[in-house]
């Protein structure tokens, strides 16, 4: 089973920031938080990952709480093309499998 819980769905207005929460209260010290997204049955697309510090790249920002029990993925200016299912996954650094939950279905609306 996935070690994370996410809301089933969220809406966001185009141009606004989309903030997607994830709870991972049982995360262990060597596990990273990864975010992927899947646009309509395409292959999952890597977005960002972090261990304990906040991270930012050209796609998104990742805010991890100090206790590491939850995180938020931020898409700063959502576009219609960001409509997708977003998956939060925790995994250690041992070459292991990704365990996908149901994810959050984000709908960006004009």
Partner 1 sequence: EPEVTQTPSHQVTQMGQEVILRCVPISNHLYFYWYRQILGQKVEFLVSFYNNEISEKSEIFDDQFSVERPDGSNFTLKIRSTKLEDSAMYFCASTHPGSQETQYFGPGTRLLVL
Shortest Å, Cβ 109 to partner 1 = 23
Least separation in angstroms between CB 35 and partner 1: 11
Cα(71)–Cα(11) distance, integer angstroms = 18
Would you say 90 and 24 are in contact if contact means Cβ atoms under 8 Å apart?
yes
Burial of 7 (C-beta count, 10 Å sphere; 0-12/13-18/19+): middle
Please, which residue, 14 or 105, has the CB nearer to partner 1?
105
If the CB atoms of residues 41 and 110 are measured against partner 1, the closer one turns out to be: 41
Question: For binding to partner 1 (CB under 8 A), which residues are involved?
Answer: 32, 34, 38, 41-46, 49, 87, 91-102
């Amino acid at each position: 089973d996935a070690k994370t819980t996410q809301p089933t769905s969220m809406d966001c207005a185009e141009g606004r920031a989309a903030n997607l929460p994830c709870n991972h209260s049982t995360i262990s010290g060597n596990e990273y938080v990864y975010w992927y997204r899947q646009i309509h049955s395409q292959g999952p697309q890597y977005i960002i990952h972090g261990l304990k510090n906040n991270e930012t790249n050209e796609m998104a920002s990742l805010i991890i709480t100090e206790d590491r029990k939850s995180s938020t993925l931020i898409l700063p200016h959502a576009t219609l093309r960001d409509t997708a299912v977003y998956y939060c996954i925790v995994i250690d650094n041992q070459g292991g499998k990704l365990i996908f939950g149901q994810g959050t279905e984000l709908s960006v609306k004009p």
